[in-house]
Amino acid sequence: MTTPLIQTEQLSLYYKRKPAFTDITLPIFTHTITALIGPSGCGKTSFLSCLNRLTDLIPRTRISGYIRIGDIDVLDPKTNPTALRRRVGTIFQKPNPFPFSIWKNLAFPLREHGIKNRQEIDIMIETTLQNVGLWDEVKDRLNTSALSLSGGQQQRLCIARALVLQPEVLLLDEPCSALDPISSGVVEDLISNLRGNYTLVIVTHNLAQARRIADNVALFWLQNGVGSLIEYGDVEQIFTAPRETLTAAYINGDRG
Ligand SMILES: Nc1ncnc2c1ncn2[C@@H]1O[C@H](COP(=O)(O)OP(=O)(O)OP(=O)(O)O)[C@@H](O)[C@H]1O
């Protein structure tokens, strides 16, 4: 059995005193896609936010338990959240490019992380735009506003903006749900192709999408008002031979 790149142990998150989820122990393996599924409000987004300590930005949150990513003890106060977020990129539901040019959207994070050489920046930008399949669409208008791109192109640019810093992990929170069906398909294919080079964790309400792209699936559920992990397993096992009644009911559309 390989060692997971990410391991949470008995992880719990509280907003003020209210638990969002409790006692989540989950392994996430290198260069795989793990889908977090489950009904609204069961803590999937909150779980993602713990992995790169975005929860630090929300007042009066408390986390207990343990998270390791590679050799980083994520919750150790000595861990630098900026360095952590360079290794763990995040993509949100709604594309959120900076209101700058396409070029500057990618140059900005590079410069912020100390890369100043223009030629080096140009090479990294071209390579990354190639990797997200956007280069041919934008190479003649790198200096136009990123906001002039379509929704699907904006989301691919946001993925490029995360990838340009060469992270190990990408957290994706419903990355296709704000897109039209065609753009959603393009972004889904891109995410699927990133497997093998990155470790991806995706929150999705789209069960067909989870089944198409995930290697492993974790079902979260609200139990007595608190998010819990019900079942975790290989995608085929979850969809064809779930161990838990709740999983079967959710997969079949009877619950949730
Ligand atoms: N910033 C916050 N402050 C207080 N409570 C929050 C905050 N963010 C989320 N919550 C609460 O934590 C619980 C879990 O929410 P979360 O968004 O993580 O669930 P989710 O499973 O991702 O839901 P959805 O699928 O609708 O996005 C909910 O009760 C929510 O109201």
What is the rounded distance in angstroms from the CA atom of residue 165 to the CA atom of residue 168? 9
Q: Which atom of ligand 1 is nearest to the CA of 38?
A: 21
Q: How confident is the model over 138-175, as pLDDT tens digits?
A: 999 999 999 999 999 999 999 999 999 999 999 999 99
Amino acid at 18: K
Closest protein CA for atom 7 of ligand 1? 15
**Interval 41-55 mean pLDDT:** 96
Buried b (16+ CB within 10 A) or exposed e, 131-154: bbbbbeebeeebeeebeebeebbb
ipTM of the complex: 0.97
Is 30 a residue whose pLDDT tops 70? yes
Of 22, 46, 63, the one to substitute when testing ligand 1's pocket (max ligand atoms within 8 A of C-beta) is: 46
Ligand 1 geometric centre to CA of 21 (Å): 9
H/E stretch holding 248:
helix 245-251
Q: Which of 15, 37, 177 to mutate to test the pocket of ligand 1 (most atoms within 8 A of CB)?
A: 15
Which pTM value belongs to this model?
A: 0.95
Q: Of 144, 157, 175, nearest to 97 (Cα)?
A: 157
User: What is the band of 1 on the pLDDT scale with cuts at 50, 70, 90?
Assistant: low
Q: What is the 3-state secondary structure (H, E, C) of 137-161?
A: HHHHHCCCEHHHCCHHHHHHHHHHH
Span 213-249, pLDDT tens digits: 999 999 999 999 999 999 999 999 999 999 999 999 9
Number of C-alpha atoms within 13 angstroms, CB side, residue 76?
10
Q: Is the CB of 46 under 6 A from ligand 1?
A: yes
Q: If you take atom 4 of ligand 1, which residue's CA is the nearest one?
A: 15
- Alpha-carbon distance 202 to 162, whole Å? 15
Using 50, 70 and 90 to split pLDDT, how confident is the model at 66?
very high
Q: What is the pLDDT of residues 191-210, one digit of tens each?
A: 999 998 999 999 999 999 99
Which has the closest alpha carbon to 61: 91, 20, 89, 6?
20
Which domains does the chain possess?
A: 6-97+168-251 (3.40.50.300)
Nearest CA to ligand 1 atom 9: 46
What's the confidence (pLDDT) of residue 256? 75
pLDDT at 221 (0 to 100): 97
pLDDT band, very low/low/confident/very high, at 48 (cuts 50, 70, 90):
very high
